[in-house]
A and B are shown apart, each in its own frame.
Chain A
Amino acid sequence: MLVIRPLQENDLEALYAMAQSAGKGLTTLPADRDLLRRKIRHARETFDQRCAPEAGLHLFALEDTELEQCVGISGIQARVGLDEVFYNYRLSVTVNASRELGVHVRTPTLHLSNDMTDTSEICSLLLSDSHRGGGNGLLLSRCRFMFLDHFRKHFSEKVFAEMRGVSDKEGRSPLWDALGRQFFDMDFTEADVLSGLGNKSFIAELMPKFPIYLPMLPDEARAVIGRVHDNTAPALKMLQAEGFNFNGMVDIFDGGPVVEAFIHNVRTVRDSADRIVMIRSKPYVPEQGRQEEVMVCNGSFRNFRVTTVPADCVSIDTISLSASVAKALEVEAGDRVRLAPLKDTGQNPINHYRNTNHVGRSSRA
């Protein structure tokens, strides 16, 4: 069984191994034991509510209960830009117009901004190679929306994600070479590593503060503004399916886009529903054919748990869980849990079930 739970101290080695194999491009989780240890401690303090809600860093582990090992991680930063300055470029347009001259020219322009300050960010998604596929990435990503939904007062109304921008195999970023590098004599990878070690705002402070008129940049650099790295395209697609949209902000280093959504509009949140737990004593016998999976979470801030169960465990106002699943979720019979579909199949298996229930309950009984 795979269960989402808060990250713990003993996940350090597993986390280090994952960070190491992820390599470049994951600036928020560099393979640095001290830094990872600090992050885990921060996450523990957050879940134990020993730090202010706005300073929270919620890191979730995906645990394989058979291996008793953490095989993936994902996170939510409660608020960005509160203890350091959070920078983006805003991609806007400058218009020069004169009727007398017959001139009307639009110039795309990058403005340095701190607009994302005080907004919640989803970040740090990492999945062990051995557990790729089967919806595990979706679980890691979407469990965060269930958490955001449950504990809205800890977060901003809007949530965003920074997507990795374009760089080549050698780690060269066309935007960095045309812009950042002109102001800061350093390779992109080096700057990226420094960023991950918590120096991003220092570097940002060396970047140009005045607007950058895009026609003054070379074509290669202009072409990557607002575009994601090929490896990040699936993640972008997933977030778009959740209702996230490009908000006009880009990363100041590599030009990767920022996507955002209001939490109440996120698909996982909109499609979620509450059920009462029933503990099943008989073994589960799957129905014929392929089954939709449904995410189930408890309502605990400190011991937040999410796992998946087949959709046919859900009935009109209850959900039947095996004793082991209930134990993993730390729930008992009669507790309220929240469900949301795992995959985008075009129809919500929970609602679908509810709809068919009205007419078909007797036949299933």
Chain B
Amino acid sequence: MVTYAYPTFPYRAPHDLMVEAPQRLPLVIIGAGPVGLAAAIDARLQGLEVVVFDEDDSVSSGSRAVCYAKRSLEILDRLGVGDGVVAKGVSWNVGRTFLREEEVYRFNLVPDAGHKRPGMINLQQYHLEEALVRRAEALGADLRWKYKVASVTPLEDGARVSLETPDGVFDIEADWLIVADGARSNVRRQLGLDIEGHVFKDRFLIADVVMKTDFPAERWFWFDPPFHPNQSVLLHKQSDNVWRIDFQLGWDADPEEEKKPENILPRVKAMLGDDREFELEWASVYTFQCRRMKQFRHGHLLFAGDAAHQVSPFGARGANSGFQDADDLVWKLALVIKGLAPAALLDTYDVDRVFAADENIRNSTRSTDFITPKSAVSKLFRNAALELARSQPFARKLVNSGRLSVPSFLVNSALNTPDADAFAGDMVPGAPLDDAPVRSNGQEAWLLDQLGHRFVLLAFVDRADAPDGAQAALHAQSAALAAQAIPVRVVWVTANGGAAPAGMATLHDRDGLMALRLDARPGSAYLIRPDQHVAARWRVLDIARLQAALRRATGHELPTVAALRPAIEALIESAPA
């Protein structure tokens, strides 16, 4: 490694966790990778005590995940590390796809202006993890390095965890356990939990090379390039002048041979096509699979990230979907731990993130099948689509060199309040809220940065200094809404300005983009969840409907087994004997 010095995080002896045997902890996270760390930070922001166990004492070895999508950056903004991560990373929006030497297709991840974050940044995973570790520590998360989980025993009301440390072996108990120990999850395997899917019969070489070039910060993807015939190649820029090159090798390649620098260097040289200087920093040969666990919730164990689901790398849907898991999970878990929501709320983590995982698996499987066709006819169609894409717009839509990570629209979530009023656009209940430029207290700002970690009601008003009757009533209720058990922060949104009454949070929709993206007009209101998904919306707000939507969004209206019993019994009766 030439561009990065790996930190060593200090080991602390477990004596304080061995005062009682076994000591009971409210929340334990297994795995200090990006997903476990994001969950730990979010837990602290929700006011939860959290202990994280990791068997190692440093960050990820190698650049690994690299691509962090706009939605992840928005989550990282909420967690308080967005600025540093984006400053360190390489921002990009444009992807170019080549057939042999000719460009056939180009996409822009964020074609419209008015978003704080770019479509994607590229950043070595170790930089990201280091930023997350610093933030988690600063917030008081208890990170325990060199704590290896020997076994987990599920309990009726928690889990028992056996740990191995340099100072010996001991047990603790946790009320709740987030399992984020990666694709090879020891906990998942030790408990014998199913994970189903399929392995792709292909091998890929990742080479990280350090070089100075003037290539633009774009994603370049080649089908059948002259420097690597009949296979695909992907080029990405990372920070510190490190370039990620991904060569498809085919199933018959020998991973040990391909990993040798003397075999990698000629491939890179052929690609660069000249004698420019470069240095090989890291290389890996990998295969991949697309699979997921049947359920992400097993009682008081909650699986997240690669431990729960895995995808092919085309589309950058691995780490990015892991951040969305943490984003969906932690606010729900906080409500359950604080006794403000039934544990069944966590079943919606399972259902909604399984839905998202299936979408990610479907998209990355399709990309993989296009990039590495598995039959002669599949390859024929792939090449025909690429040929047509040179001149025919319809064929460009079929070219699939990776459908890059975007958040799921959780349209089937049981937490959504179905629309009673008509709205245009995509911000349906379950949608991840679009960002927009706003002015807050006279300062330029971004909508998503104004939301925080709680429920927010965005109430559109004509002029903040001239509220109508309903808006004045909402203003009168806003202090009570902010103070109730599950608080709702009321924020007025005005396109026309005016000074709001004292204490009334107000956003100035300076370019009208909020109103446009949310199809809102004065009187419209959106209830936004702590993870920035739309929970409910109305043309005319009514406090009783708001409270009903809040109850639904926090799992108080989920069908109980008792309510489902007639349907279950009808099914049993109709089943053949």
Please indicate whether A and B come from the same complex rather than being unrelated chains. no
Interface on B for A, CB 8 Å cutoff? Answer: none
